[in-house]
Amino acid sequence: MFTDSHCHLTFPELAAELPAIREAMTQAQVDRALCICTTLEEFSAVQALATRYDNFWATVGVHPDNEGVTEPSLQDLLTRGAMPRVVGIGETGLDYYRLGRRSVADMAWQRDRFRTHIRAARQLAKPLVIHTRSASDDTLAILREEGEDGGVGSAGGVFHCFTETAQVARAALDLGFYISFSGILTFKNAQDLRDVASFVPLDRLLIETDSPYLAPVPYRGKTNNPSYVPFVAACLAELRQCPVEKVAEITSGNFDRLFKGVLLSGLAA
């Protein structure tokens, strides 16, 4: 019934607990999950999960926060992105939250990395998984500059774990992107985010855990896992005044549509 559109099951907090997590997913009616890659070094483990389990899929990408790791070339992403059960490019984007003593100008390497991912996604016709934090203006500008306007040839994708303003949400929607909400939506101090979730069109909504982080209420502060994604759905259902089963149906259908059928094609087999 439910789909977790973004989780990190290869991270050490979760990897050792995978059998228990899969059982918890079954009990919670979480039928499938997208396992997100954050470094090229991690990719083999992420893809191995997707090839081992028929309800997991994978992405390939290098997170904008990750330094001191292999820098992905376009060919790196194209080669891995064409492998079985890899359905998206990312997690990619921009993050200026932890600049420290650096300036935005110093983050040119992040912007270059982001462009490489966008170009790979466009060539492969697979969606982007976008991370943006304290960098939304540049994120949107680069997407536009690279031709991601929702038109012919656009890869499209999702702004995951959305925490930005309503203005940013509208801009992302205008570019043809989906918006995914995590357990943050359930936090007491997240009313502004709930207001955003209230107006995002139903056919552009996704839900996720971003586990092992950001466990929803009533598990806030604990290690997150995909079996908790129904709590995000329940919050959305309350906001949209509809049954949680309807949110599950809509968001799972949106997940299928975003990934353009590759889930069922030979590309993901």
CA atoms within 13 A of residue 45's CA, in its CB half-sphere: 16
- Number of Cβ within 10 Å of residue 123's Cβ equals 16
Task: Give 67-70's long-range contacts (Cβ < 8 A, gap of 24+).
Answer: 69/39, 69/40, 69/41, 70/39, 70/40, 70/41
Task: Please report, for the chain, how many H helices and E strands are present, in that order.
Answer: 10, 8
List all residues 6 or more positions away from 4 whose beta carbon is below 8 Å from its beta carbon: 30, 32, 33, 34, 207, 208, 209, 211, 226, 229
Q: What is the pLDDT of residue 266?
A: 43
Does residue 84 have a cis peptide bond before it, meaning omega lies within 30 degrees of 0? Answer: no
Instruction: Give the model's pLDDT for residue 260.
Output: 77
Q: Tell me which residue of 168, 192, 181 sits closest to 251, measured CA to CA.
A: 181
pLDDT value of residue 267? 47
CATH of residue 82: 3.20.20.140
Q: How far is residue 150's CA from residue 144's CA, in Å, rounded to a whole number?
A: 9
205 HSE (CA, 13 A, CB side): 27
C-alpha 136 chain-centroid distance: 16
Q: How many domains are there within the chain?
A: 1
This prediction has a pTM of 0.96
Q: Residue 13's domain spans which residues?
A: 2-268
Render each residue's pLDDT in the chain as its tens digit; 269 residues: 999 999 999 999 999 999 999 999 999 999 999 999 999 999 999 999 999 999 999 999 999 999 999 999 999 999 999 999 999 999 999 999 989 899 999 999 999 999 999 999 999 999 999 999 999 999 999 999 999 999 999 999 999 999 999 999 999 999 999 999 999 999 999 999 999 999 999 999 999 999 999 999 999 999 999 999 999 999 999 999 999 999 999 999 999 999 875 555 444 44
Torsion of CA 133, 17, 190, 62, to 10 degrees: 10
DSSP character for 72?
P
